[in-house]
Structure 1
Amino acid sequence: MEVFPGTQFGRDDWGLIYLFTMNSGAKRGNHYHLNKNEWFFLAQGEVDLVVRDTHSLEQATKHLSANTPEVVSIPAGVAHALVNTHSETAILIAYIDKEFDPAQPDTYHLEVI
């Protein structure tokens, strides 16, 4: 669910804040961006965030829990995916610094999980 698209405020430099849920076992992502940066905040539940550098192919997993709140940054060029390996539905709030443009989607599939 798009919450605060910049175009809603007459700005094209704002990006987009969005909210999404992940049921137990759900995966989301498996892509990267060349020109967009994203930030994730887990408001409820627990998920694993898997990231892979698209140049070195180095991969790492970070466990996120709403019990230890933090904002995680995903820079351009880093493939990422989330998986809910727990029984509780996860709720995440995310920010991407550029809105989706269907003419230039800047989303490239890369399977990391």
Structure 2
Amino acid sequence: SLEKKLYSTYLSYLPKDKFSYPLKMNTDQRGSFTEFLKTEEYGQVSVNVSKPGITKGQHWHHSKNEKFLVVSGKGLIQFRDIYSDKIIEYYVSGDKLEVIDIPTGYTHNIINIGESDMVTIMWANEKFDPEHPDTYYEEV
């Protein structure tokens, strides 16, 4: 409660030209990945942009679970328990907002099946730690 009030007070005293700040976009030929908010207690929120025909992911986590929300474009989210061959699929679109939960122990990917860039908001229950990434490659 005190930290929240201190932060709100801090923001109210910022110079008017300091209300915005750039984010580090990690870009390549597939699109981009940008971390938006990171907290110790509530994980992180990221924005993922995928070019048409691109598949991202193909990995699983021991302790990290995620929520995917496609806000623009069309995609296919696939995942499967790493001890199973059964693939679960969800067709997603910015035209119908729907959260897809990705549980731990499920390898997963997201494929842009549309003709334009697909934008996905991703939440993870823990922030990314480069020293302990908890990300293991395995195709769906």
| TM-score, normalised via structure 2 length | 0.73
For 1:72, which of 100, 106, 109 is the aligned residue? 100
1:67-109 superposed Cα distances (whole Å, 9 cap, x missing partner)? 1111110011111001112101111101001111122111000
Question: In structure 1, what is the equivalent of residue 121 of structure 2?
Answer: 93
Question: In structure 2, what is the equivalent of residue 9 of structure 1?
Answer: none
2:90 paired with 1:62 = yes
Deviation at 1:65, TM superposition (A): 1.1
2:124 paired with 1:108 = no
Which region of structure 1 is more displaced relative to structure 2, 52-61 or 31-40?
A: 52-61
User: Which runs of 5 or more residues in structure 2 are unaligned?
Assistant: 1-33
Summarize the alignment of residues 1-113 of structure 1 with structure 2, pairs less than 5 Å apart: 1-6=34-39, 12-112=40-140
Higher helix share: 2
Considering Cα pairs closer than 8 Å and 6+ residues apart, tell me whether 1 or 2 has the greater RCO.
1
1-side partners of 2:57 and 2:122: how far apart?
Answer: 12
2-side partners of 1:102 and 1:21: how far apart?
Answer: 21
Question: Aligned letter for 1:90?
Answer: M
2-side partners of 1:46 and 1:86: how far apart?
Answer: 5
Q: Which has the larger radius of gyration?
A: 2
Deviation at 1:57, TM superposition (A): 2.7
2-side partners of 1:34 and 1:58: how far apart?
Answer: 19
